[in-house]
């Protein structure tokens, strides 16, 4: 056993915990802002807080992160070109750059159509000029990846660009979901790469051993080499860490965990001391994937979610993540003066372009930008400014200013009113500039035609309603209650009975399981939640860094599955990396077991494991199970369970 540093890099905060696994005690915790413009700065700021005598004890590092989840939810990340081999996918996929090729195999892995190499070369050349990475997905490629691999080789010969094949990411036969998962994996390549580089740089500077593991979405850990190949598996590692951390900090075996982050709120359930897993694949924002993960429901709501007053004078919160005005002004006091000057000259609202403010996030990027976009970047190099200020510097009408492309590329980020600002205005938080938070709340109150104090309480109340709805939807989901036949009108009536206390008939919800709230603002929201539901709310000690606690307490689990099928008096082996045919069943079985065992040992070598155990099982399926007549197929599954070298 050893002393482990757990680091959780979220969309808003980077948390760290130094955990002694010998005594099961937390030696040190720290929380700092995640610095998206340079992750090294935030991680260094965090580790700088750890006393030297404790740093000397650290023998390993485990990372968890919500960065991948946030990128998927906010529709950001690398630009991805998608080459599909086979029929057109009717479902939406997370990229606009989609091309289809003739080719593909049938369910038995036999070529159905020859691959159109000539067209493939034209597509590859076109995509290479538009995208950062390329995803390749062929129908039934998990039964025969030959065509995917041919396209991959064509790309590698001509261009130096990251390439991901569908069969490398998941063994699922579900062509649409496998394609979505592969595209998301491509979008996240740079996210994990930047995170690992940042952590390694800081560890080297601090003299901490470079033994890095990364938490996956199913609550297990993986070595950095494996994580770099398949970053999509780290999506929802934040929620996985929160479950492990929540359980360690409370000692409870059955509970619903609500992790309120900066960008998202993640909800998951623990039953009998074990987190529920989603074997079908994780839902990440609007995308249904084939990533094995904890069964988590993620909503685009967090401490940094944008708050606006819509055209119907209703409060909307999220899913867009922005910088809180209180944070921006705390670092750049002049920004409040810019806002006040605009207020003197114009009738403004939260959505008025003049009052929009932006901050430069990335200082280094591929310069595939317009002249005006480059001018905006230059103006923001000296600090954040309002769009009104920027337009005057550029001698351009503010209503002709376009920032969407720069925002999508995460080069700049909007500054505005968020739940974090509301908590500052109410005195629930006091880290940053309260006056600026109250300034935007006053703008919102004028927009809505109510008093400023009433607006504060109304937004706080609305936050409680949002959280209540999320908890209710998640609880219903975990209970496997079907809601597809509930229409919008029925839902609105139900919520009115819950929220409108002036009605003669009202309703209430009583939740039997304890609700464990973690994340920086968790404590501040218990009061408003109690207005809408009955039950036990627990905010554990160290709730602010529960994810980092969870990250430091995980193990390695890797499974590889193979299939042997009897086809035309032959035995065909289907493995994640290829297909092979044998005339004898025993040869096919021996080959499958050997291949799975060899690959698990390679995985073990790449995962810094000390103690590990590999088990291989087989399940034979017959046409007549009782008599074991006519073998249909055999499932061969290998499982590696191990612990990092420092344990």
Angle at 379 between CA 373 and CA 385, to 5 degrees: 105
The reply to whether 333 falls in a domain is no
Residue with tokens 């003049």: 354
Give the per-residue pLDDT at 272. 87
**Which pLDDT score is estimated for 344?**
61
Which of 141, 161, 181 lies at the terminal end of a domain, its last residue? 161
- Mean pLDDT of successive 10-residue segments in the chain (647 residues)? 83 86 88 78 88 91 80 79 94 92 91 92 91 94 94 91 91 91 90 85 86 86 83 82 88 92 87 81 77 82 90 85 94 93 67 84 72 91 93 88 85 94 94 94 87 93 93 88 81 88 88 92 93 93 87 85 90 92 94 95 79 89 82 92 75
The domain total for the chain is 2
Say how far apart CA 467 and CA 10 lie, in whole Å.
Answer: 19
Count H helices and E strands in the chain, helices first: 21, 33
| pLDDT in the model for residue 242 | 84
Determine if residue 140 is left, alpha or beta; phi over 0 gives left, psi from -120 to 50 gives alpha, anything else beta. Answer: left
Query: How far, in whole angstroms, is CA 188 from its chain's centroid?
Result: 9
User: What gap in Å lies between CA 180 and CA 72, rounded to an integer?
Assistant: 11
CA 258 to chain centre: 15
Residue 587 domain-assigned?
A: yes
Q: Which H helix or E strand runs over 549?
A: helix 546-551
Residue 63: predicted pLDDT: 86
Buried b (16+ CB within 10 A) or exposed e, 87-107: eebeeebbbebbbbbebbbee
Judge whether 237 lies within some domain: no
624 within domain boundaries: yes
Q: Is residue 315 part of a domain?
A: no
Taking alpha carbons only, the member of 298, 102, 71 closest to residue 183 is 71
| Assigned domain for 126 exists | yes
Q: What does the pLDDT read at residue 402?
A: 87
Strand 80-85 to 97-101 pairing = parallel
What integer pLDDT is reported at residue 647 of this predicted model? 56
Residue 216: name the closest of 281, 164, 292 by CA: 292
The last residue of one of the domains, among 161, 193, 208, is 161
**3-state DSSP assignment of residue 347:** coil
Tell me what pLDDT residue 220 has: 86
Residue 172 within a domain: no
Owning domain of residue 587: 556-644
In a domain, 473, yes or no: no
Q: Is the CB of residue 180 less than 8 Å from the CB of residue 93?
A: yes
Q: How many CA atoms lie within 13 A of 339 on its CB side?
A: 29
How far apart CA 358 and CA 353 sit, in angstroms, is 11
pTM score: 0.74
Q: Which of 128, 161, 194 is the last residue of a domain?
A: 161
Nearest to 640 by CA among 620, 241, 609, 226: 609
Nearest 5°: the CA angle 561, 563, 569 is 170
């Amino acid at each position: 056993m050893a002393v482990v540093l757990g680091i959780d890099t979220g969309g808003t905060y980077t948390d760290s915990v130094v955990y002694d696994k010998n005594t099961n005690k937390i030696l040190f915790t720290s929380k700092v802002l995640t610095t998206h413009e340079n992750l090294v700065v935030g991680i260094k700021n965090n580790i700088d807080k750890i006393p030297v005598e404790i740093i000397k004890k650290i023998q390993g590092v485990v990372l968890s992160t919500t960065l991948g989840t946030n990128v998927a939810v906010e529709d950001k990340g690398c630009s991805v070109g998608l080459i599909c081999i086979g029929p057109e996918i009717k479902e939406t996929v997370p990229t606009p750059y989609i091309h289809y090729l003739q080719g593909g195999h049938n369910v038995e892995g036999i070529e159905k159509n020859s691959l159109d190499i000539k067209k493939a070369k034209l597509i590859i050349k076109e995509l290479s000029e538009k995208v950062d990475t390329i995803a390749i997905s062929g129908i039934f490629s998990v039964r025969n990846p030959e065509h995917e691999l041919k396209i991959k080789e064509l790309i590698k010969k001509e261009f130096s660009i990251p390439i991901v094949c569908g069969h490398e990411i998941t063994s699922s036969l579900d062509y649409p979901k496998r394609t979505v998962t592969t595209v998301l994996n491509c979008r996240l390549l740079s996210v994990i790469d930047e995170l690992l580089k940042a952590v390694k740089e800081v560890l080297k500077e601090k003299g901490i051993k470079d033994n890095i593991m990364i938490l996956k979405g199913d609550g297990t850990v993986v070595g950095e080499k494996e994580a770099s190949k398949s970053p999509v598996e780290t999506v929802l590692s934040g929620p996985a860490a929160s479950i492990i951390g929540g359980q360690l900090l409370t000692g409870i075996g059955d509970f619903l965990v609500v992790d309120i982050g900066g960008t998202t709120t993640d909800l998951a359930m623990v039953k009998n001391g074990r987190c529920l897993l989603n074997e079908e694949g994780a839902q990440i924002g609007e995308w249904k994937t084939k990533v094995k993960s904890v069964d988590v429901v993620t909503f685009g709501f967090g401490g940094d979610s944008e708050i606006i007053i819509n055209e119907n004078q209703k409060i909307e919160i999220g899913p867009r993540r922005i910088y809180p005005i209180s944070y921006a002004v705390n670092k750049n006091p002049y920004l409040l003066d810019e806002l006040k000057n605009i207020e003197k000259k114009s009738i403004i609202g939260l959505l008025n372009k003049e009052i929009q403010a932006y901050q430069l996030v990335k200082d280094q990027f591929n310069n595939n930008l317009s002249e005006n976009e480059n001018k905006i970047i230059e103006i923001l190099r000296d600090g954040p400014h309002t769009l009104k200020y920027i337009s005057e510097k550029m001698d351009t009408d503010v209503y002709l200013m376009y920032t969407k492309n720069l925002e999508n590329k995460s080069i700049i980020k909007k500054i505005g009113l968020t739940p974090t600002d509301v908590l500052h205005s109410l005195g629930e938080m006091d880290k940053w500039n309260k006056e600026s938070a109250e300034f935007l709340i006053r703008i919102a109150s004028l927009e809505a035609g109510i008093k400023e104090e009433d607006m504060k309480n109304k937004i706080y109340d609305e936050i409680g309603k949002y959280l209540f709805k999320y908890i209710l939807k998640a609880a219903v989901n975990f209970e496997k209650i079907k809601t597809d036949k509930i229409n919008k009108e029925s839902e609105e009536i139900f919520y009115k009975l819950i929220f409108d206390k002036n009605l003669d008939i009202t309703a209430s919800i009583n939740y039997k399981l304890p609700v464990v709230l973690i994340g920086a603002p968790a404590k501040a929201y218990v009061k408003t939640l109690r207005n809408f539901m009955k039950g036990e709310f627990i905010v554990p000690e160290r709730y602010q860094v529960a994810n980092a606690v969870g990250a430091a307490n995980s193990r390695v689990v890797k499974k590889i599955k193979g299939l042997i099928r009897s086809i035309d008096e032959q035995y065909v082996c289907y493995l994640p990396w290829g297909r092979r045919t044998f005339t004898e069943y025993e040869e096919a079985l021996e080959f499958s077991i050997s291949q799975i065992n060899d690959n698990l040992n390679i995985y073990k070598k790449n995962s810094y494991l000390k103690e590990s155990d590999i088990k291989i099982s087989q399940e034979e399926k017959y046409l007549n199970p009782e008599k074991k007549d006519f073998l249909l197929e055999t499932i061969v599954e290998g499982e590696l369970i191990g612990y990092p070298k420092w344990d």
